[in-house]
């Protein structure tokens, strides 16, 4: 997998300008002009549509796992982790945008890694592998989640594999649009449905008499519902670190951001979209989980819907999750398919045209992505633990290390010029240390949790077992 640089014709617009001497605005203008000559125009997204796309990606089921993280960590470490993750998210995302504005030819996170690490083809190949592995496993997680939703709503009326196939086929159909501008319309509906699911959960958690079940037994076997400032006695280090990874995973979506920026008509407006996302995220990532922990306490499950004591409450709120489950899978599939598709088509006229060949290749690539993701969804014993594994193995680079390196590339020679720059340099140094920490102890904790799952006994691959929450 070589980097599709100018020699390979990946960015034809660079032929029109001197990429070494031209300013970033000139390169951006050339890129947009070149793109708008095609039948299929990618660089058409406004910052408003980008904001909806970001919200559709971020307002997801993982929010409903944060009450469980609080139940493991307690109020003080849990809220501190959430706030620090939010600060890191904003700072690293702004750094990422500044770096892309300096190198506007960047089309995805793989290009970002290529330039950030000194135009290293090794970094590009490594980033490509990580992009494919991360996104396909995440799509598999959403197939599994979709099967869980249908299982819950239908009282397991069919074999779970059948439900997974249905979700996969729906995902392929929804993934047909080639541009993220079209996907952004779906994202609006996705964010609305997830918001409804959260709102209904909060109402039901507040009005019901008690939770139904927690990981330590049915209510009230683990005593009355209670909250606490710090982890309960007996809480393991592995459990705490997995709870931290669960929070980190939610706050690290930057793997997709370069692809989003590359399809904006005015990429310089991305901070506006990011500001809207940050406000939404701070509210939804902290307030609902805190309320959930208040009413579920030590009985919190991941997702929190599983703790609701009244079955009809659980079904009414969980039903809305099917929409964001599908649409978020579509977003990840779109970015993944473009990475593969552009490397297959390269300079071919089919790459940006409405031809039979172009659409056939797109459809085959998309079908293959969802099919491989379906296999992952069936053979992995616990997708929750594998999300922790993703957080440790991939988010360490795509959420921390890449952007600390990019910051150094942007400001080397001026890292300590003035108080503000010194503070930002120190923050990025902490970001780097955090990224280096995750692949070590974080990866160990995730693997230990997976081993524990296997030891406890898991369902066989392609099982018909009931996955209803």
pLDDT at 282 over 90: yes
Q: What is the pLDDT of residue 242?
A: 82
Which tops the pLDDT comparison, 246 or 460? 246
pLDDT band at 9 (very low <50, low <70, confident <90, very high): very low
Which residues are CB-neighbours of 56 under 8 A, at least 6 positions away? 183, 184, 186, 187, 188, 190, 191, 324, 327, 328, 331
How many whole angstroms separate alpha carbon 96 and alpha carbon 106?
A: 11
d(CA 394, CA 404): 15
Give the model's pLDDT for residue 212. 85
Stretch 184-202: mean pLDDT, rounded? Answer: 94
Residues 106-115, mean pLDDT to the nearest whole number: 95
pLDDT-wise least confident of 24-38, 86-100, 187-201, 423-437: 24-38
pLDDT at 74 over 70: yes
Mean pLDDT of 286-310: 93
Does 383 or 242 have the greater pLDDT score?
242
Q: What is the mean pLDDT of residues 395-424?
A: 93
| Window from 154-163, 210-219, 280-289, 386-395 with minimum mean pLDDT | 386-395
Q: Considering the entire predicted model, what is its pTM?
A: 0.92
Q: What is the pLDDT of residue 412?
A: 92
User: Which pLDDT does position 389 carry in this prediction?
Assistant: 72
Using the predicted structure, report yes or no on whether residue 71 has a pLDDT greater than 90.
yes
Share of the chain above pLDDT 70, in %: 91
Is the pLDDT score of 7 beyond 60?
no
Contact between 422 and 388 (Cβ < 8 Å)? no
Give the pLDDT of residue 387: 65
CA neighbor of 204 nearest in space, from 281, 302, 315: 315
Residue 458 has pLDDT above 80, yes or no: no
Binned at pLDDT 50, 70 and 90, residue 288 comes out as very high
The whole-number pLDDT of residue 6 equals: 44
Yes or no: domain 45-456 corresponds to CATH 1.10.4160.10: yes
Q: What is the pLDDT of residue 11?
A: 47
Omega of the bond leading into 303 within 30 degrees of 0 (cis): yes
Q: Is it the case that residue 12 has pLDDT exceeding 70?
A: no
pLDDT score recorded for residue 245: 82
What per-residue confidence (pLDDT) applies to 321?
Answer: 95
Neighbouring residues of 386: CB distance < 8 A, sequence distance ≥ 6: 137, 141, 380, 446, 450
| The pair of three-digit structure tokens given for residue 56, joined into one six-digit string | 């559709």
Domain ranges of the chain: 45-456
Confidence category of residue 324, pLDDT binned at 50, 70, 90 = very high
Q: Give the list of residues 6+ apart from residue 5 with CB closer than 8 angstroms, or none.
A: none
As a whole number, mean pLDDT of residues 20-28 equals 71
Task: Check pLDDT > 90 for residue 89.
Answer: yes
What does the CA dihedral 286, 141, 177, 92 come to, rounded to 10 degrees?
40
- Give the CA radius of gyration of the chain: 22
Average pLDDT over all residues of the chain: 89
Stronger pLDDT, 275 or 26, i.e. the higher one: 275
Which run of H or E residues covers position 74?
none
Query: Any bridge partners for residue 264, and if so which?
Result: 45
Average pLDDT, stretch 115-123?
95
Per-residue DSSP letter, 434:
H
Alpha carbon separation from 32 to 14, 265, 267 (Å, rounded): 11, 7, 10
- Residue predicted with more confidence, 398 or 228: 228
Which tokens sit at 219?
């209510």
């Amino acid at each position: 997998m070589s980097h599709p640089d100018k020699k390979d014709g990946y960015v034809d617009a660079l032929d029109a300008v001197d990429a070494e001497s031209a300013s970033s605005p000139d390169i951006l203008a050339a890129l947009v002009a070149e793109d708008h000559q095609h039948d299929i125009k990618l660089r058409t997204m406004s910052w408003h549509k980008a904001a909806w796309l970001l919200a559709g990606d971020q307002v997801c089921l993982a929010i409903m796992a944060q009450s469980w993280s609080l139940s493991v960590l307690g109020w003080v470490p849990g809220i501190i982790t959430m706030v620090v993750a939010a600060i890191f998210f904003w700072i690293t995302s702004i750094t990422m945008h500044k770096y892309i504005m300096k190198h506007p030819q960047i089309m995805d996170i793989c290009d970002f890694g290529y330039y950030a690490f000194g135009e290293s083809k090794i970094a590009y190949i490594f980033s490509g592998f990580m992009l494919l592995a991360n996104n396909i496993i995440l799509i598999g997680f959403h197939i599994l989640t979709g099967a869980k939703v249908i299982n819950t709503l239908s009282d397991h009326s069919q074999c779970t594999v059948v439900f997974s196939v249905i979700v996969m086929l729906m995902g392929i159909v929804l993934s047909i649009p080639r541009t993220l501008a079209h996907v952004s319309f779906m994202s609006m509906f996705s964010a609305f449905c997830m918001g409804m699911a959260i709102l209904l959960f909060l109402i039901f958690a507040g009005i019901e008499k008690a939770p139904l079940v927690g990981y330590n037994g049915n209510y009230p076997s683990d005593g009355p519902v209670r909250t606490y400032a710090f982890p309960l006695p007996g809480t393991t280090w592995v459990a705490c670190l997995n709870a931290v990874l669960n929070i980190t995973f939610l706050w690290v979506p930057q793997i997709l951001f370069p692809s989003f920026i590359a399809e904006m008509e005015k990429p310089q407006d991305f901070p506006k979209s990011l500001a809207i996302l940050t406000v939404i995220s701070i509210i939804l990532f902290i307030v609902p989980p805190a309320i959930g922990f208040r009413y579920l306490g030590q009985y919190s499950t991941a997702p929190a819907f599983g703790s609701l004591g009244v079955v009809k409450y659980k079904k009414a709120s969980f039903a809305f999750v099917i929409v964001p489950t599908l649409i978020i899978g579509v977003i990840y599939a779109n970015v993944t398919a473009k990475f593969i598709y552009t490397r297959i088509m390269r300079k071919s006229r089919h790459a940006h045209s409405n031809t039979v060949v172009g659409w056939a290749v797109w459809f085959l690539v998309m079908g293959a992505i969802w099919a491989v993701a379906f296999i992952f969804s069936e053979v992995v014993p616990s997708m929750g633990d594998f999300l922790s594994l993703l957080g440790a193995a991939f988010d360490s680079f795509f959420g921390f290390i890449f952007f600390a390196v990019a910051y150094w590339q942007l400001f080397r020679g001026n890292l300590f010029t003035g108080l503000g720059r010194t503070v930002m340099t120190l923050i990025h140094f902490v970001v780097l240390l955090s990224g280096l920490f995750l692949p070590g102890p974080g990866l160990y904790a995730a693997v230990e949790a997976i081993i524990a799952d296997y030891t406890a006994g898991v369902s066989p691959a392609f099982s018909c077992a009931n996955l209803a929450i």
